[in-house]
Chain A
Amino acid sequence: MKPNSIVSFFLLIALLSLPLAAGAKELAKDNYKTYCIQCHGLQGTGMGLNIRDMSVQPRDHTDVKAMGTRNDAELFKVIKEGGFAISKSVLMPPWGDILTDDEINDLVIYLRDLCKCKYGG
């Protein structure tokens, strides 16, 4: 085997093992199920398990009007950095230590699918 072939071989092995080392990307629906439903509810309507004593109720993700007032960058920011980052409730926590940027982008797309809306209506 030539030196170049050996280098290529080890590079390939390293590339193949990268996703495992970094943690495989999860599907948006699975991340939503694990992290969002506890407050935003099984139907995504903001009627989650935890809401009874909350001073601010979670966003209804099926609310076309409300979801239409947020652009994708704001949705990304609030998921990653929490409600406080966009002057909203601290009850919405930051998920940036668990979700990758790629997974958060997928969640934004998932939210647009839930509300069947886009920014501005």
Chain B
Amino acid sequence: MNYRIFYIALCTFAIGCASLSAHAVAGDGVGILSERCASCHDMKGPAPTTLAALWQRKGPDLFYAGNKYRQAWVEAWLQNPKRIRPAGMFYISHIKPGEKRDMVDASTLSEHMKLNAADAKAVADALAEMKENSALLKAEKHDPSMAPGPLGEMMFDKFFGCMACHQIEPGFGGLSGPEVYTAGARLKPEFMLSYIRNPQAWDPKTWMPNKHVPDVSIQKMVNYMIELSKEDWDEAE
């Protein structure tokens, strides 16, 4: 009889262990990414090369996250996620005709999951290791000394028309692209340089056009975004 009880306990323990190994445990960043994030984010690449694939994308590609995001920002954001793309990942899936213009249909947008501090750190660590497209980043050299001055906003609004799709402050600018007033805190400077220089090198079908911005202007725009991101936008909102 005792042997039978021991056998049942052993089996229960074995099943428990198998179950644990099949699920991500707290602090296992790679496991969390695989189990909880991969249904919306591409972890392997390459980026979509057809419109049909582009339209299916539910969240930003993460296979080059380590080259794109500032790690500290990722860790903080995952604990308190706030929408970055006012009209969702692909705007056409989240708009409806309005009286004066097309409007965001908020009922179609969903909130990003929130992680506890330990899991957020583990995921941020794991994402920092995902570094596709490193050659693109290595080709860039950020020059923080190229201050944009008052031209920064002019470049965004008037010279290159970036505000058509991006908000440069809450409530001002276009909605089909991600907000840029937090980009400087969110993104690595070399990534911003590279993406503005050639968006299609990162994402061949993206609806961000290559405006062939001269290098000097790209440097100034990136520094402008870094300056913008130092404002307390939570307070402003």
Contacts and interface: CB of A to CB of B under 8 A. Distances in A.
Contacts of B176: 38, 49-50
Interface stretch (A10-18, A67-75, A90-98, A110-118): A90-98
B172 A53 contact: yes
23 contacts: A23-B204, A24-B50, A35-B209, A38-B176, A38-B207, A41-B101, A42-B95, A42-B102, A47-B102, A50-B165, A50-B174, A54-B164, A82-B209, A82-B211, A90-B159, A90-B161, A93-B161, A93-B164, A93-B211, A97-B209, A98-B204, A98-B205, A98-B206
Contact of B97 (A33, A42, A54, A93): A42
B91 A49 contact: yes
Interface string A21-51: 0011010001101110111011100011111
A2 interface: no
Interface of A: 23-24, 26, 30-31, 33-35, 37-39, 41-43, 47-55, 82, 89-95, 97-98
B158 interface: yes
A50 B176 CA distance: 7
A94 B158 contact: no
Q: Is the interface of B mostly helix, strand, loop or mixed?
A: loop
Contacts of B210: 94, 97-98
B101 A51 contact: yes
Given A43-B97, A97-B209, 11 more contacts: A33-B92, A35-B209, A38-B92, A38-B165, A39-B174, A41-B101, A42-B96, A47-B102, A48-B101, A53-B163, A82-B209
Given A47-B101, A49-B87, A50-B164, A37 B92 contact: yes
- Chain B interface size band reads 35 or more
Contacts of A97: 198, 200, 209-210
Interface string B175-190: 1100000000000000
Contacts of A43: 97
A93 B161 CA distance: 8
A49 B91 CA distance: 9
Nearest to B168: A53
B59 interface: no
B209 A23 contact: no
A99 to B, nearest CB: 10
A24 B160 CA distance: 30
Contacts of A91: 161, 164
Contacts of B104: 49
Interface in B204-225: 204-207, 209-212
B163 A90 contact: no
Of the candidates A34, A49, A90, A95, the one having the most CB atoms from chain B within 10 angstroms of its own CB is A49
Contacts of B204: 23, 98
5 A-B pairs with least C-beta separation: A50-B174, A93-B209, A38-B176, A97-B210, A90-B161
A96 to B, nearest CB: 8
Nearest to B167: A53
Given A38-B207, A93-B209, A98-B205, A53 B161 contact: no
